[in-house]
């Protein structure tokens, strides 16, 4: 399947895009294993982190081949393609764009010719000094309009340096969030920014090593979780084994929103199980914002753990009152106006026999613009709910994220422009309650000073320059990416 014409996939929920992470990354060094298929299944486990494009770079020790395309992992790769990708070393990437348009040219892994061979790279996060980094390139010529492309170009810029030396020189100059997997023909590399904003973990196979955005991806491929890759750490893996170097001192500020929404519930971050944290948030939410109701129902799937906790904390029975169409995701088919008017029913449908005549507590993970919750409350009332009490398992999202989550601008965030009562009235709920920031942090069991909370409290751990903001920053200076062939290779 090839969409090198740059067609964009469309999220057919016309009301409100959920908060999106930048992407998921996966890397494996495992002689004797089918690493293309391990990478495929690793990316499949990370699909929730990015649904716009997917790609794999693979090496047999002599040549790197990159295969990538627009679409879901299962749409980009088939059995025949994976069988044709032979080697012992691979990296993979699934993308949601936070810098650069969602077009084929910006899909990852990126690839550059470097020294006597090639360099392929996958990036989860978002850089905040991209213009400064771009000025460091020997030539301001890019194949794509992403911060990841700029970073790859810098690492490959000097043919006289080893990739390790280039990395130890370049990464201390990079500001922002970056969890990286990259490779040359013989070595797998992984690195994490000094704040460790986005997650990155190390696992071990019987015959090699795996790195991934989340522990859930290690579980899927049968790898044993070893540890998190430390903030400011560079790992190299090759025939000589695993080695660790430090390019910066650690100043941990892990993303709090990973616990709210971004990470899979079966993932562990900083020693805390995400599902357990979300259930605990629900319990605390029940105590902070009780309601007189007959049922607690989740907005599936992300609201389910907190709804379970709310039911436990309140004593109100838990029920599945909404059915989610699991096959509604991203499509190349533009919905008609009639389908747009159906709105949220494309994704969720109420179980009338469960909710009719009932007072409901509806638990969701967050409110960004409020459009989805407004439609949802209206739909539940149409289905016969007598009261709808909305409970949110995160504080109001008041500030945009510059570190890899595609939140709206502050003016578009309903939590940044309206009071809680104004939001309640806007979405049509009988009552509205958010978990407090202190209770959310406490539920994660991670110290407050080790978490980035900027989208909730406006305290940014890394200062963002005004001219470094904007998803289409590089497109303004470079123009729109041009069409490229589907696969590339280097030696």
The fraction of the chain above a pLDDT of 90, given in percent, is 72
pLDDT of residue 138: 81
With contact defined as beta carbons under 8 Å apart, do 81 and 389 qualify?
Answer: no
Q: Which of 22, 23, 57, 361 is catalytic?
A: 23
* Domain residue spans of the chain: 10-253+474-481, 268-324+336-446
Cα–Cα distance measured from residue 293 to residue 379, given in angstroms and rounded to the nearest whole number: 18
| 59 pLDDT more than 50 | yes
The residue written with tokens 């970056």 in the block is 178
pLDDT range class, residue 101, cuts 50, 70, 90: low
Q: What pLDDT is attached to residue 447?
A: 96
- CA pair distance 83, 63, nearest whole angstrom: 16
pLDDT confidence of residue 98:
56
Terminal-residue alpha carbon distance, the chain = 26
CATH 3.90.930.12 fits 268-324+336-446, yes or no: no
The Cα-based distances of 349 to 321, 343, 451, 486 in angstroms read 9, 11, 36, 39
Q: With bands split at pLDDT 50, 70 and 90, how would you rate the model's confidence at 14?
A: very low
Lowest mean pLDDT across 4-18, 88-102, 302-316, 424-438: 4-18
Instruction: Give which of 372, 409, 327 is closest to 16, Cα–Cα.
Output: 372
| Chain centroid, CA 231 distance in Å | 18
For β-strands 201-205 and 224-228, DSSP reports them as antiparallel
Query: Phi, psi at residue 457, to the nearest 5°?
Result: -120, 0
State the pTM of this model.
Answer: 0.88
Q: What is the pLDDT of residues 284-297, one digit of tens each?
A: 999 999 999 999 99
The reply to whether 23 belongs to the active site is yes
Q: How would residue 454 be classed by pLDDT, with cut points 50, 70 and 90?
A: very high
Sheet order of strands, 487-490 included: 224-228, 201-205, 208-212, 23-29, 89-95, 53-59, 64-70, 487-490
- Report the pLDDT value the prediction gives residue 406, as an integer from 0 to 100: 75
Question: Whole-number mean pLDDT of the chain?
Answer: 87
Q: Cis before residue 109, ω within 30 degrees of 0? A: yes
State the CATH architecture for 10-253+474-481: 4-Layer Sandwich (3.60)
Annotated binding-site ranges = 255, 302, 364-365, 401, 452, 455
Cis-peptide into 301, omega within 30 deg: yes
Question: ∠ CA(295), CA(300), CA(302), 5° rounding?
Answer: 115
Q: Which residues are annotated as a binding site for [4Fe-4S] cluster?
A: 255, 401, 452, 455
3-state SS class at 304 = helix
Q: At 391, list the tokens.
A: 């409970």
Which residues are CB-contacts of 265 (< 8 A; sequence separation ≥ 6)? 274, 275, 278, 305
With 70 as the cut, is the pLDDT of residue 197 above it?
A: yes
Burial 329-366 (b: 16+ CB within 10 A, else e): ebeeeebeeeeeeebbebbbebeeebbeebbbbbbbbb
CA dist 226 and 202 (Å) reads 6
Token representation of residue 78: 């088939």
Instruction: Express each pLDDT in 158-186 by its tens digit.
Output: 888 899 999 999 999 999 999 999 999 99
CA atoms within 13 A on the CB side of 240: 6
Q: What secondary structure does DSSP assign to 118-139, as a single string?
A: EEEEEEEEEES-HHHHHHTSSS
CB 205 within 8 A of CB 31: no
Question: Where are the alpha helices (H) located in 177-318, listed in sequence order?
Answer: 215-220, 257, 274-288, 304-314
Cα separation, 323 vs 346, in Å, equals 11
Name the token pair of 90. 């691979």
> Annotated binding residues for Mg(2+), as ranges?
302, 364-365
Sign of the four-CA dihedral 275, 277, 278, 282:
positive
pLDDT of residue 404: 87
Q: 123, 143, 81, 101: which is closest to 9 by C-alpha?
A: 101
User: How many CA atoms are closer than 13 Å to the CA of 163, on its beta-carbon side?
Assistant: 29
Q: What is the mean pLDDT of residues 107-130?
A: 89
Per-residue pLDDT tens over the stretch 333-371: 555 656 555 667 778 899 999 999 999 999 999 998 898
């Amino acid at each position: 399947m090839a969409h090198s014409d740059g067609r964009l996939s469309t999220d057919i929920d016309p009301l409100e895009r959920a908060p999106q992470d930048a992407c998921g990354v996966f890397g494996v060094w495992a002689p004797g294993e089918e690493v293309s298929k391990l990478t495929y299944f690793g990316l499949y486990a990370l699909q929730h982190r990015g649904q716009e494009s997917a790609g794999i770079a693979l090496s047999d020790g002599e040549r790197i081949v990159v295969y990538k395309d627009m679409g879901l992992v299962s749409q980009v790769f088939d059995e025949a393609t994976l069988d044709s990708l032979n080697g012992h070393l691979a990296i993979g990437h699934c993308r949601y764009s936070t810098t650069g348009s969602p077009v084929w040219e910006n899909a990852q892994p990126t690839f550059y010719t470097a020294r006597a061979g090639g360099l392929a790279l996958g990036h989860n996060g978002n850089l905040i000094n991209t213009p400064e980094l771009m000025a460091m390139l020997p030539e301001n010529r890019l194949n794509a309009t992403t911060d990841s492309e700029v970073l790859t170009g810098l690492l490959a810029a000097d043919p006289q340096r080893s990739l390790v030396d280039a990395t130890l020189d370049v990464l201390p100059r990079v500001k922002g969030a970056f969890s990286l997997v990259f490779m040359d023909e013989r070595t797998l590399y992984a690195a994490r920014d000094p704040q460790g904003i986005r997650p990155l973990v190390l696992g071990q196979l019987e015959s090699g090593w795996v790195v991934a955005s989340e522990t859930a991806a290690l579980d899927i491929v049968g790898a044993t979780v070893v540890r998190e890759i430390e903030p400011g750490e560079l790992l190299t893996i090759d025939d000589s084994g695993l080695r660790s170097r430090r390019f910066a001192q650690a100043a941990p500020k892990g993303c709090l929103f990973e616990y709210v929404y971004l990470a899979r519930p079966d993932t562990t971050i900083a020693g805390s199980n995400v599902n357990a944290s979300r259930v605990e948030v629900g319990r605390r939410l029940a105590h902070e914002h009780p309601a007189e109701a007959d049922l607690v129902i989740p907005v599936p799937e992300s609201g389910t753990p907190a709804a379970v906790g709310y039911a436990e904390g309140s004593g109100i029975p838990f029920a599945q009152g909404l059915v989610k169409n699991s096959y509604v995701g991203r499509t190349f088919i533009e919905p008609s106006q009639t389908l747009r008017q159906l709105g949220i029913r494309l994704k969720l449908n109420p179980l009338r026999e469960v909710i009719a005549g009932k007072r409901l507590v509806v638990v969701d993970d967050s409110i960004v613009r409020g459009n989805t919750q407004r439609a949802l409350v209206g739909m539940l009332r149409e289905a016969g709910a007598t009261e709808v009490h909305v409970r949110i398992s995160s504080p109001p999202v008041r500030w945009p994220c510059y570190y890899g989550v595609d939140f709206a601008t502050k003016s578009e965030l309903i939590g940044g422009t309206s009071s809680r009562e104004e939001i309640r009235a806007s979405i049509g709920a009988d009552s509205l309650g958010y978990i407090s920031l202190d209770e959310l942090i406490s539920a994660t069991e991670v110290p407050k000073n080790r978490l980035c909370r900027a989208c909730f409290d406006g305290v940014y751990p890394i200062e963002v320059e005004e001219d470094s903001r904007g998803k289409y920053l590089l497109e303004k200076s470079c123009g729109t990416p041009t069409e490229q062939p589907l696969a590339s290779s280097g030696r």
